[in-house]
Structure 1
């Protein structure tokens, strides 16, 4: 029989157990701890396990602490069955489910579910070897996007967005991948490219329905300003909260009953390309998005520990959020976005984060440790900080973020200076299409 959890007084201090794949969740754990709650953090990836040292209490075997925890939080996909089993046992769990893991990790399954829920999708074809994909593009010339499936999609720089209408650039990249990866690449999709505005809509889900307001997000995925360079997963994001969204109505809202059926409790995001012809979902993120969750937190006017507990407990409530805009940019160091241990140790490991003035509001530690009250870079990917800003207008939010960045010195660091610049043009288009 499933345990029934009574709603508790929000001032009560609780015990939070966080299970993280790569350690990106550090600042959320740190924030909950600063609110007075007890926290423990487990990081699965061994090269990342130094992350969080000196900030929060770390554990080597999270399963030994299940009984200790009032709430267990998983920050990544792939833990769905564990989450399902823990919920059945009566634990409060915020994280994925087997169903939502498939939505994100199995692109073919995700696209089929979109069709099943009567949502318009872009044409795509799945492949397991490069030769067949190259032959397909040669016989069906068009602009395509190469999308890895499964766990290899964590290597964000492998996603390639073609720009040639004949698909010649996609063919060249497929041939390069064939040389580099051979048969170890796994399955991938070729999806027909559509031009428009890339925008995502997300919300927290309490096991029964979505919690409003909704979050509308504009990601900046390329390494350099003006969308130049390789895909990184994300270099920064701008966003706002809203109670109503035509994009949500056409996509996520249609999954509400299905998510409840599969006992999902957590955060889910759907990324779309939209234009005058319609809304085209691209992919799901059925977990915390990074850096999305930290930019969101700067727009939430209530303690994060209390918020996470209410969601996991199945409470019905309205999220208390700021009006206006929130924005954030990653500050990264070599070898980001590539994996090169030697370069990381040579240029970046143990570099000190220097603050000209001791002002840390809006500065979120990502892959850091704390020794003698100094923030040092650790891990192995080169993501040091996320710096955020908020404001009534996008310009106000940008100005606050830039002022905060100017107070920070990180050797060999780089970041995008144009996060949020697309808003004027993108918002004009979205208004014209009736989608904002």
Structure 2
């Protein structure tokens, strides 16, 4: 493939740096725009930047949006739709697909309208109404904030008490502390099983044949305890259109085609022996999932996204095994404490004890005089990946690479992928979700 022009747009925080770097290293021409002022140094020294993404639209052969947010408002889907109408090739959503993430009640309505089974769920704009519902219908529930505040990942709460008393306590606390920002919340009935996300790449007409199945590790500490962080690591594999896909994303193929959606779309589910229960959409790239997907793509990443954006029947060759990604973080992650960040993490040096950078992916990092340094304000400088014929082999490669990295005060989970080894894989296979379908 001849070199092409790729314009990457972070209309809020910088998220897509690693993909831009990967495409740049494949000798394509790249320009990267970051809206958030605190993030603008992220990627410096790795990828060329632009201060005016709209001025570069006509230059670009492919425009890539990394999230649904434009500042504190949902909006990249509208931008992508506008640009497509003008004849540009865009990886990005639509207003309706953005809404899948922003409005969880709407997302469940779309699933139900297309014959996808859903878990019991209720949306509330009033805390007292939610508290009253739980008291009248005692059970364990999951509390999921709606709107912009859902980006504060530690606010997601998974109830443990059969009578819902802990959920009531949490809602009362949220009313006092977050009532001024939280537009509303969804209560989902808690379901036990294996949590798995089905991720497909859509080219505006149909899904690419290879489907990605990934397992998020959201809590801060090993053993899945501590505050929710959004993501501390991911394990995954690629497969075909098996039962998990056909019963979920596969049923939305016509709807997505009607929308003209282009890009990655992920549906996180709880699966058990009685069914598949969707929890939430990610109608965009996942982080650090995209870094791990890049690591497992063995064909040209740039060519794949070029063909995806242009609807050129994209093909992708992927690693035929297992992969894991581990997010390396620094204080005060996942919390906001500027003093701690300034004292412990800002501008810290990432030291490598070997020459190899295999499996090392960018998050909030920059390059200064040949050194990798921490950038931005979030304390998430890098992601380290590994792959192998087994999940254990992938773990050994990733954690071996981490052993060659030195950053004062760095921390990470050391159990990414263990859930698969400890039984999740066997359960999914026994329930008939992973085998070939007729």
Aligned equivalents of 2:168 and 2:427: distance in 1?
A: 32
Task: Provide the residue aligned with 1:65 in structure 2.
Answer: 56
Task: Provide the residue aligned with 1:415 in structure 2.
Answer: 412
Contact 1:238 1:328 in 2 (8 A): yes
- The match for 1:245 among 242, 252, 255 is 242
Q: How many residues align structurally?
A: 426
Tell me, which stretches of 5 or more residues in structure 1 are unaligned? 1-9
Aligned equivalents of 1:181 and 1:294: distance in 2?
A: 32
Structure 1 range deviating more: 296-305 or 383-392: 296-305
Task: Provide the residue aligned with 2:83 in structure 1.
Answer: 86
Post-superposition offset of 1:397: 0.3
Aligned equivalents of 2:13 and 2:407: distance in 1?
A: 22
Structure 1 range deviating more: 100-109 or 334-343: 334-343
Post-superposition offset of 1:380: 1.1
Tell me, which stretches of 5 or more residues in structure 2 are unaligned? 69-74
Post-superposition offset of 1:220: 0.6
Task: Provide the residue aligned with 1:5 in structure 2.
Answer: none
- The match for 1:98 among 82, 87, 95 is 95
Post-superposition offset of 1:342: 2.2
Contact 1:129 1:187 in 2 (8 A): yes
Structure 1 range deviating more: 365-374 or 42-51: 42-51
Contact 1:237 1:328 in 2 (8 A): yes
Structure 1 range deviating more: 321-330 or 338-347: 338-347
Task: Provide the residue aligned with 2:71 in structure 1.
Answer: none
Post-superposition offset of 1:419: 0.2
- The match for 1:403 among 396, 400, 421 is 400
Aligned equivalents of 2:232 and 2:97: distance in 1?
A: 25
- The match for 1:427 among 422, 425, 428 is 425
Post-superposition offset of 1:61: 2.0
Task: Provide the residue aligned with 1:363 in structure 2.
Answer: 360
1:190 aligns to what SS in structure 2?
strand
1:212 aligns to what SS in structure 2?
coil
Contact 1:145 1:193 in 2 (8 A): yes
Post-superposition offset of 1:82: 0.7
1:74 matches 2:65 = yes
Post-superposition offset of 1:322: 1.1
The residue correspondences of 1:226-375 to structure 2 (distance < 5 A) are 226-375=223-372
Alpha-carbon displacement from aligned partner over 1:183-242 (angstroms, at most 9, x marks no partner): 321111011100000001111101110002100111111100011101111100000010
1:126 aligns to what SS in structure 2?
strand
2:6 aligns to what SS in structure 1?
strand
1:231 aligns to what SS in structure 2?
strand
- The match for 1:16 among 6, 21, 25 is 6
Aligned equivalents of 2:109 and 2:428: distance in 1?
A: 27
Structure 1 range deviating more: 211-220 or 55-64: 55-64
2:381 aligns to what SS in structure 1?
strand
- The match for 2:185 among 181, 188, 201 is 188
1:217 matches 2:214 = yes
Post-superposition offset of 1:411: 1.1
2:55 aligns to what SS in structure 1?
helix
Aligned equivalents of 1:67 and 1:342: distance in 2?
A: 43
1:32 matches 2:23 = yes
Aligned equivalents of 2:285 and 2:325: distance in 1?
A: 15
Post-superposition offset of 1:244: 2.9
Task: Please give the TM-score of this superposition, normalised by the length of structure 2.
Answer: 0.96
Aligned equivalents of 2:128 and 2:239: distance in 1?
A: 46
Task: Provide the residue aligned with 2:124 in structure 1.
Answer: 127
Moved over 3 A (4+): none
Aligned equivalents of 1:128 and 1:241: distance in 2?
A: 39
Post-superposition offset of 1:246: 0.7
Post-superposition offset of 1:160: 0.6
Aligned equivalents of 2:300 and 2:431: distance in 1?
A: 37
1:217 aligns to what SS in structure 2?
strand
Contact 2:304 2:315 in 1 (8 A): no
Contact 1:330 1:385 in 2 (8 A): yes
2:417 aligns to what SS in structure 1?
coil
Structure 1 range deviating more: 385-394 or 311-320: 311-320
Task: Provide the residue aligned with 2:195 in structure 1.
Answer: 198
Task: Provide the residue aligned with 1:4 in structure 2.
Answer: none
Aligned equivalents of 1:433 and 1:335: distance in 2?
A: 41
Post-superposition offset of 1:165: 0.9
Q: CA RMSD in A?
A: 1.0
Task: Provide the residue aligned with 1:7 in structure 2.
Answer: none
